[in-house]
A and B are shown apart, each in its own frame.
Chain A
Amino acid sequence: MHRKFAWERLHNQKSQMEVPSVRKTTNGPQPIHQAICKVWLYSNLISIVIVGLITSGIEFALIQADVIHWPVPLVMPLFWVLIGLWSSMFVKRQWHAWKYEVTDHEIILNSGVWYQKQRFVPRDRIQHVDITSGPLARKFGLAHVHLYVAGAHGAVGEIPGLTPQEADELRSMLVETQAEHV
């Protein structure tokens, strides 16, 4: 029996009534869903907690072994708190920077705050399109679209923070124009 992916279930719950019509292009650069900020924020926090726990464990062992003494063990937690605050401050700006646009011939992906990137993927070069949705993204009703071209080791472009129907619509839009080659 075909096991439905969570994003598919989510999509079906939310949009059983409205089947998205396939558009050829987007009307100019499109923002991604703002809920992605929460996904990024929570995933930052989870990473920091995990790394913090590991470093705390190491520090505890070092204190027990009499290698380090107070207040040295406070340095690492403080460092991770600062990293957490720093990354959280940029989540909103990161979201602002993220834009995608589908034109007649290519997909344009804009991202980055400090390191700004503008990636152009010709539509007929797309080999396949994946839609993924992790637990956090699912919680906030989001899905990510990954674009693959030949020769690249992984996805050449990712559009995060779309609603499942937007992701589905985008995939249909891109797959429809897939080239006849390879």
Chain B
Amino acid sequence: MFETPTRLHPAAIVIKFGTYFVYTIRSLAIPIGGIFIAEKKTSQQLVTLLIGGFVALAGAISLIGTILHFLSTNFFIEGDSLVINSGFIWKKRRVIPLARIQNVNVERTLWHRLLGAAEVKVETAAGHKSEGELTALSEKDATKLQMVLLRNRGAVATDETAAKPALIYQLSPKQVLLAGALGNRALYILASMMAVFQFDGARHFIRPISHFMNQLGPVMAAAFGAAVFVGLILVGWLVSIVISATRFFGFRIERHERGLLLTHGLITQFQSVVPLGRVQDVRIVEPILYRWLGYCEIYADTAGSFDAKDVASANKICPILRSDETNRIGQLLLPEFEFERLYWNRVSKRSIVRQAWRHMVAYLVILPLPLGLWLHWNALWLVPGIVVFCWIASYIRYRVVGYAWTDDILVARTGLLRKSAIVIPFDRIQQYSIYSSWFQRLRGLATLTASSAATGGHAILIVDLEIEAAEKLRKTIGISIQNHLGSRRSGL
């Protein structure tokens, strides 16, 4: 299967056209911008003609580009490698050893679904983007290719009969909506709306509103302003729910022959396989609202690339998970995962004083200028409040930050409003360090870090351990890594 060079699905021409068009327009942005600047000096007709010409030129360039991309791109499996040929003028041949493949995602945007195609993204441990991107294959070919690439490393089997996936976890429509409602997108959306108003909206929206408010009394104006603000938040919140509902519609986790299969999406459908042998760490994130309602989010980082914009390759295993299910799902990702019966150690109590001072100094350096300009000497009244806030926040931080270990895993937790814990098996730790700044040494404190091969940049970071405790933990990590040398699983 796929031993001979296979071309992309013709849908690639349509799908790639949009990307190329945007790219070309972006490249032409400077001359187009120049036209807008010269608008006042040139006749309107000429400007329209020039812009039309640029758009037509961009369209023509993009169309030729997409056709050449379609004609020049092909892929095949040669021995133990996936070979992707691309490029018309600058020919490129990418060879990805099957053994190095971390993950293969099949993604279907609305265009793919309309045209009966799917995109395949192949990730290795290198870089921050998918190393192999096949813009469009027929849905059947995409699934087959995913299966072949994710089969036992290096052994290309042609058996198409895969066991039917077994359902492990499913989100109800109510939970999907709850994930949207609890997500923190409302303020981003509000900020985006305000940014849009900045351009032209001031004339059409903000000025009439402020004119109307001037006619009201002070109390009514305040109430009206608050109502507008709450209304905008509400709109942002509803948009957030809609985004979440479309993205995570029909979310389910199933057992796949090579890991877990995540399927979700209403408009763009995502199918992502999490290769369990490649999971480097598992993270449990509990934003405050989630925590109150007994939910959390769970992430698994592999050594593959995780582009923040690339939803299909996102490492979020479940957007909303009941807290009592954490251990079950965690153990599917890492057999040695344990989160319920851990003995949590705290960092040093001296950390409270150090962190309080750090925050006080930071706030008292940053805030005087803006607050002083606004409130003048009255700003000094805020100083006691800032001091109290810093001490309370440092105390709460001390209570929250902790670390634990078992024979197989190292765990650390942190975060005030957004609590998060990271679990790294000892056999996944790539390097670990002890750091101490001059201020830390004054108080006998140190920071310990341990990182896996996960490319997302998530690592264990335990700040303000007592130096003796850091040394003890460091020795424990060293010994545990040695103890696990023989038990290395497949992958990194």
Contact = CB atoms under 8 A, between A and B. Distances in A.
Contacts of A157: 431
Interface of B: 100, 125, 280, 303, 429-438, 441, 451-455, 474, 477-478, 481-482, 485, 488, 491-492
B125 A120 contact: no
B433 A118 contact: yes
22 contacts: A105-B482, A106-B478, A114-B438, A115-B436, A115-B438, A118-B435, A119-B433, A120-B433, A120-B474, A120-B477, A122-B478, A149-B430, A150-B125, A151-B303, A151-B452, A151-B453, A151-B492, A152-B430, A181-B491, A181-B492, A182-B491, A182-B492
B435 A120 contact: no
Nearest to B125: A150
A124 B430 contact: no
Nearest to B456: A151
A115 B453 contact: no
Given A105-B478, A151-B280, A181 B436 contact: no
B212 to A, nearest CB: 46
In the A-B complex, the 7 residue pairs with the closest CB atoms: A151-B453, A150-B453, A149-B430, A119-B433, A118-B434, A121-B431, A150-B492
A57 B454 CA distance: 45
Given A115-B436, A150-B453, A157-B431, 15 more contacts: A106-B478, A115-B437, A116-B435, A119-B433, A121-B430, A121-B431, A122-B431, A122-B481, A150-B125, A150-B303, A150-B430, A151-B280, A152-B430, A156-B430, A156-B431
Contact of B429 (A105, A115, A118, A122): A122
Nearest to B432: A120
Q: Chain B interface mostly helix, strand, loop or mixed?
A: mixed
A69 interface: no
Nearest to A122: B481
Q: Chain A interface mostly helix, strand, loop or mixed?
A: mixed
A33 interface: no
A170 B472 CA distance: 28
A106 B481 CA distance: 10
Interface string A89-125: 0000000000000000110000000111111111011
A114 B437 contact: yes
A53 to B, nearest CB: 31
B433 A152 contact: no
B454 A151 contact: yes
A115 B435 contact: yes
A125 B435 contact: no
B471 to A, nearest CB: 9
Nearest to A181: B488
A149 B431 contact: yes
Contact of B433 (A114, A117, A122): A117
A111 to B, nearest CB: 10
B436 A116 contact: yes
Contacts of A151: 125, 280, 303, 430, 451-455, 492
A151 B124 CA distance: 11
Interface in A146-169: 149-152, 156-157
B464 to A, nearest CB: 15
Contacts of B491: 181-182
Contacts of A115: 435-438
Contacts of B477: 120
Contacts of B482: 105
Contacts of B481: 105, 122
B280 to A, nearest CB: 7
B430 A117 contact: no
Contacts of A106: 478
